[in-house]
Amino acid sequence: MRNRLHNLRKWFTVGIGIKRWLLLMMLGVFLISFGFAHILHVLQPLVASSRFHLLIYILVGLGFILIALDKLTRNILAPYRKYQQGRVVDVVYAHRKRERGPRVVTIGGGTGLPTVLRGLKLYTSNITAVVTVADDGGSSGRLRRDFGILPPGDLRNNIAALADDESLMTRLFQHRFASGDLGGHAFGNLFISALASVTGSIETALIETERVLNIQGRVLPATLEDVNLVAMVRLNHSAQVVKIRGESNISKAGGRIDRVELSPVDVHAYSESVLAILEADLVVIGPGSLYTSILPNLLVKGITQALRSTSAHKVYVCNVATQPGETEGYTVADHVLALEQHIGRGVFQTVLANNAYPLENAGENTHYVQPVPDPHEVRQRYTIRYTDLTDSEQPWRHDPSKLSQELLALIKQQQPYSAPGRTDVTIISPALAANARREFPDEDV
């Protein structure tokens, strides 16, 4: 009780801009009440001048209330919108609209997944990015070897993609040191690693990082276990197949990838990632490096099972261009067949692919992924949706706006999604919820 009184007194501290507007609001309420009281209690017909005066009381009172509400809102919200641009009403409206947006789960890593997030964050804050943690190269690999933590690079990139691109903190988070002992390290990688050490877990570190950057959504690892990627690579002009260990070494092998697997094979999925998939309205697989960004997630035990169990619509976003060392010469069908080889058929329903091949800004090293040949067995198993997805400046990459519009259109074609706060649609069936409880007994399903 004493704390409540103390907090109440704070609102009346001199200089914080609250008392004067509360008094103005009270005056407005008094004037409106005064006007209506005379209208209700004077029985004789009012003379014209009296009606005019009472109308003035009511209008002035209403004006006082509107001014007071505007000033109070600005003063109360000022500490929370220091870095927000635009009018209060626009900020609140956009926030509320995103808050009630569809639940979307994206799966991947590398540079492809952030493209999806940059487009979708404008329409919904209910985004969960499930990210690969098999990276062993660069700054992430060094931190992984030195401190025994999950590689933070892909986690960092996707957190930054969900943050304000113009924010100083976002730019600082992505800053990479050029020289010295920290040369090659991104500040965000060091930040996440330090937080993981201080808090004792990467999960807590990610939550605190997301709060610092005030992101729209959340970023989760596919697994919390230490895992490496292993590839069976058929060397060029040879029947010899060699085993390449380490994600950073696979694309450098110079051959054709036959298959990839995790080491150890039986790593388990992070429970929060599984539950996010089960609760989703839409699951987006890709875009990104087929063998080193997408499949490392899908091979984690529990991720593909969740994809088969969820009622969400699932779409695979095929890359715009082929990737040297991974998918040279691949068509859209080759990408899909490679996924089927590793995780089986029927994991997703729709394939979203690009059908524009601009020459401007493309460069001689850009080789676009060609459409599914006709006829082809893949056409019988999936809905193939073609559209222009290219970025005008970097046409070998997806345009965030074009991609997000296509994904939102897919959601609209499905049954009405369950926006947060709605109770008229059940996302998780009782059977799925029971399975999730059995597999993850510590989670609130």
CA distance 134 to 293: 8
How many C-alpha atoms does 25 have within 13 Å on its Cβ side? 12
pLDDT over 50 at 434, yes or no: no
pLDDT over 90 at 104, yes or no: yes
pLDDT over 80 at 415, yes or no: no
**pLDDT confidence band for 36 (50 / 70 / 90):** confident
Average pLDDT over residues 45-54: 60
CA distance 65 to 190: 50
218-221 and 350-354 strand pairing: unpaired
Q: Mean pLDDT lowest for which of 80-84, 319-323, 379-383?
A: 80-84
CB-based contact 399:391 (threshold 8 Å): yes
Residue with tokens 């002992």: 181
- Which pair of tokens denotes residue 427? 């996302």
Closest to 38 measured CA to CA, from 23, 56, 21: 56
Q: What are phi and psi of 353, to 5 degrees?
A: -135, 155
pLDDT in tens, 252-269: 888 889 999 999 999 999
Q: What count of other Cβ atoms lies within 10 Å of the Cβ of residue 89?
A: 10
Alpha helices for 344-385 (secondary structure H): 378-381
* Choice between 84 and 433, residue whose per-residue pLDDT is larger: 84
CB-based contact 404:416 (threshold 8 Å): no
pLDDT over 80 at 147, yes or no: yes
CA distance 389 to 284: 15
pLDDT over 80 at 46, yes or no: no
What's the order of all strands across the beta sheet hosting 241-245?
241-245, 228-235, 255-263
CB-based contact 342:299 (threshold 8 Å): yes
* Choice between 433 and 192, residue whose per-residue pLDDT is larger: 192
pLDDT over 60 at 440, yes or no: no
CB-based contact 311:341 (threshold 8 Å): no
pLDDT in tens, 62-79: 888 888 888 877 776 665
Q: Mean pLDDT lowest for which of 222-231, 371-380, 395-404, 429-438?
A: 429-438
Q: Which residues contact 352 (CB under 8 A, 6 or more apart)?
A: 315, 316, 317, 318, 385, 387, 389, 403, 406, 407, 410
Average pLDDT over residues 57-64: 84
pLDDT in tens, 340-374: 999 999 999 999 999 999 999 998 899 999 999 98
pLDDT at site 374: 86
CA distance 386 to 101: 25
CA distance 107 to 128: 9
Q: Cα dihedral sign for 4, 6, 9, 13?
A: negative
CB-based contact 163:173 (threshold 8 Å): yes
Q: Mean pLDDT lowest for which of 57-71, 137-151, 154-168, 394-408?
A: 57-71
Closest to 140 measured CA to CA, from 245, 218, 248, 241: 248
CB-based contact 309:280 (threshold 8 Å): no
pLDDT in tens, 302-337: 999 999 999 999 999 999 999 998 999 999 999 999
Average pLDDT over residues 117-128: 94
- Which pair of tokens denotes residue 90? 């626009």
- Which pair of tokens denotes residue 64? 């006082």
CA distance 351 to 287: 11
Average pLDDT over residues 423-437: 39
- Taking the mean position of all CA atoms in its chain, how far away is CA 187? 21
Q: What count of other Cβ atoms lies within 10 Å of the Cβ of residue 123?
A: 20
What is the percentage of the chain residues whose pLDDT exceeds 90?
54
Q: Cα dihedral sign for 398, 400, 401, 407?
A: positive
CA distance 201 to 193: 10
pLDDT in tens, 131-145: 999 998 889 988 998
The SS3 of residue 168 is helix
pLDDT at site 442: 43
Q: Would you mind telling me the total number of residues written for the chain in this entry?
A: 445
Closest to 197 measured CA to CA, from 152, 155, 153, 132: 152
Closest to 160 measured CA to CA, from 192, 132, 135: 192
- Which pair of tokens denotes residue 258? 């036959």
Rg (CA), the chain: 28
* Choice between 68 and 270, residue whose per-residue pLDDT is larger: 270
pLDDT at site 380: 93
* Choice between 406 and 20, residue whose per-residue pLDDT is larger: 406
CA distance 281 to 408: 11
Residue with tokens 């309420």: 29
Average pLDDT over all residues of the chain: 84
* Choice between 176 and 51, residue whose per-residue pLDDT is larger: 176
pLDDT at site 181: 85
Q: Which residues contact 36 (CB under 8 A, 6 or more apart)?
A: 58
pLDDT at site 132: 95
The SS3 of residue 146 is helix
* Choice between 129 and 101, residue whose per-residue pLDDT is larger: 129
**pLDDT confidence band for 7 (50 / 70 / 90):** low
CB-based contact 370:384 (threshold 8 Å): no
**pLDDT confidence band for 203 (50 / 70 / 90):** very high
pLDDT over 50 at 427, yes or no: no
pLDDT over 70 at 41, yes or no: no
CB-based contact 259:232 (threshold 8 Å): yes
Average pLDDT over residues 440-445: 40
